[in-house]
Amino acid sequence: MPLRIILVGPPGVGKGTQAALVEEALGTKQLSSGVVFRSEIEAETDLGQLAKSYIERGELVPNGVTIQMMVKRLRTDEVRKKGFILDGFPRTVRQAEALTEELAKEGITLDGVLSLEVDDGVVVERLSGRLGCTKCGEIYHSVNKPPSREGYCDKCNSPLIVREDDKPETIRERLRVFHENTKPVIDYYESLGLLKRIDASRDPQDVFSEIKLKLGAI
């Protein structure tokens, strides 16, 4: 049976890194909400155009549009065959409840939700050195994962930048929003008996080792 899990945690906790490790080890399809958004916008689909209109106005993309984008991807043959590991979605209880409803309609059972947990101070330290590719979205870190050539992406050779939302004052605000909006998502999945907590303050490989143990329990 294909594995179907969700990764939840604050920005900078390493969700993308762990999702990629799970995908490599198990073949489970990594679905990052950011990547799905970008692909829909670049493909100029109806949903992508709608999301773009909100983004260009500096507004949050509504829950309904976000849910439709993610569910569209979950319905693809590839994801049905390989399973999925959701990264960055759901972000709110409303999105989590809607996802539960949509999965039920598709006859898909969620295997578990992994909550990657770390102190806020560690998040600020990690994200302050983060660099993002302006084209493909690949993430680097000035200390922990520097690019081979300073200032340029290893994958597509495009320039790297420090995003506005990776500056310390912005990070603290993002953490405040996470605690306010996404912590209830953790409580929601705990109430369903699906939650497994992971100490994400350690080396990524150590975190991955614990994830494999927890997935073995699933």
Flag whether 109 is in a domain.
yes
Residue 193: per-residue pLDDT: 95
Q: Report the percent of the chain where pLDDT is more than 90.
A: 54
**Could you report the per-residue pLDDT of 180-193, keeping only the tens digit for each?**
888 899 999 999 99
172 lies in a domain? no
Are 104 and 131 part of one and the same domain? no
The catalytic residue among 4, 29, 130, 196 is 130
On whether the CB atoms of residues 180 and 136 are closer than 8 A, the answer is no
- Pair 94, 34 in one domain: yes
110 assigned to some structural domain: yes
| Residue 47 and residue 88 share a domain | yes
Same domain, residue pair 96 and 155: no
Q: Is residue 113 part of a domain?
A: yes
Whether residue 98 is contained in a domain is answered as yes
Note whether 51 and 85 are same-domain residues. Answer: yes
Report phi then psi at 7, rounded to 5: -105, 125
| Domain count within the chain | 2
Question: Is residue 159 in some structural domain?
Answer: yes
Residue 218's pLDDT is what? Answer: 57
Low-confidence ranges of the chain (pLDDT < 50): none
Residue 202 annotated among the catalytic residues of the structure = no
pLDDT the model gives residue 182: 85
Residue 127, pLDDT score: 79
Are 193 and 104 members of one domain? yes
Provide the residue range defining the domain that includes 147: 119-166
Same domain assignment for residues 81 and 27: yes
- Contact (CB, 8 A) for 136 and 156: yes
Specify whether 91 is catalytic.
yes
Q: Please check whether residues 47 and 150 belong to one and the same domain.
A: no
Please pick, among 82, 91, 126, 196, the residue that the annotation labels catalytic: 91
Cis peptide bond N-terminal to 146, omega within 30: no
From 29, 73, 126, 174, the catalytic residue: 174
Kindly state whether residue 68 falls inside one of the protein's structural domains.
yes
Q: In residues, how long is the chain? A: 218
